[in-house]
Amino acid sequence: QEFMATVEAVARENGAVLQALPPSGCAVFPAEDACAPIWFEMAGSRPHLSFALRGTADVTGDAQWQGSHWALELHTPAGSVPVALQMAGEHNVRNALAAAASALAAGAPLTAIRQGLEAFRAVKGRSELKRDAQGRSLIDDSYNANPDSVRAAIDLLAALPGESWLILGDMGEVGNDGPAFHREVGAYAAERGIAQLWTAGTAARDAAAAFGPKARAFDDTAALIAALNEQPDAAQTLVKGSRFMKMESVVSALQQQRTGDPHAA
């Protein structure tokens, strides 16, 4: 899973698509990202639209969480419009800004952009919120993981009431900085008040070590699931990891534990 030596190398590889645009093509990228200067450079003289939740950009937004959705005031070069976003997590507000900027670049009117954003629902494994009859939340964010998305997931989990657990698998494609990135997210989870961190995989052991004594590290998902079956889970649990870790198996095990249904998924 480690194909690039540095995060900058990954950014330049991603930015190569900008250089493939025709001169009239529009480059869209996040102004808040530390790699934004690289993408500005790679876009050259082509038109561009940047987006940011905080800071200066072409497309921005003011968002307030309402308990079940985000109330977003979307600001664009074409005007401003209120949007009700039916998905959890501040990072998904940024995703909505990215979608809005891309749609504007493609010539979509603001009314259509609003309708599209309000119609969107979370897809499987991407900040998918599941609540049971006891009011416990299970957030299935198992599809993939990188340092930024893990921090966003921790923010989402920390904002929920009650004791919270993070179940984290290895992050892949982080290059030679992998150990440092895992330590950073482990320390961040502790800083945000996450009650317990359970990890699966060799790399994620660094996250557990940085989290402290309330962490448990397992070699793989099978060992983690076996331990989960011996202990009730928390009021709020979030599952995340890179695709190759197949953390959806942990989500299924937790759902089965909560419902008693061996076919829960």
Q: What does the domain layout of the chain look like in residue ranges?
A: 7-119, 128-259
Note the pLDDT of residue 1.
37
Confidence grade of residue 207 (pLDDT, cut at 50, 70, 90): very high
Average confidence (pLDDT) over 75-85: 97
CB 143 within 8 A of CB 124: yes
7-119 folds as: UDP-N-acetylmuramoyl-L-alanine:D-glutamate ligase (3.40.1190)
Distances (CA, A) of 132 to 65, 158, 256: 21, 19, 11
pLDDT tens, residue by residue, 236-262: 999 999 999 999 999 999 988 877 655
Q: Name, in order, each residue with C-beta under 8 angstroms of 78's C-beta and a sequence gap of 6 or more.
A: 104, 109, 110
Rounded CA gap, 80 and 82, in Å? Answer: 7
Please state the pTM of the whole predicted model.
0.70
The pLDDT of 30-36, averaged and rounded, is: 93
| DSSP-derived secondary structure for 108-131 | --HHHHHHHHHH--PPTTSSEEEE
Check whether 129 has a pLDDT greater than 70: yes
Query: How high is the mean pLDDT of the chain?
Result: 91
**8 vs 214: CA distance, rounded Å:** 33
Question: Which residue intervals of the chain are DSSP H helices?
Answer: 7-19, 36-43, 90-105, 110-119, 147-158, 178-191, 205-211, 221-228, 248-259
pLDDT exceeds cutoff 90 at 194? yes
The CATH class, in words, for 128-259 is: alpha beta
**Tell me, what's the pLDDT at 132?**
80
- Counting every residue written for the chain, the total comes to 265
Q: Is the pLDDT of residue 126 over 90?
A: no
Q: How, if at all, do strands 137-141 and 128-131 pair?
A: antiparallel
Give residue 35's pLDDT.
92
What does the DSSP 8-state code read for residue 215? E
Q: What is the pLDDT of residue 257?
A: 83
Mean pLDDT of 161-176: 90
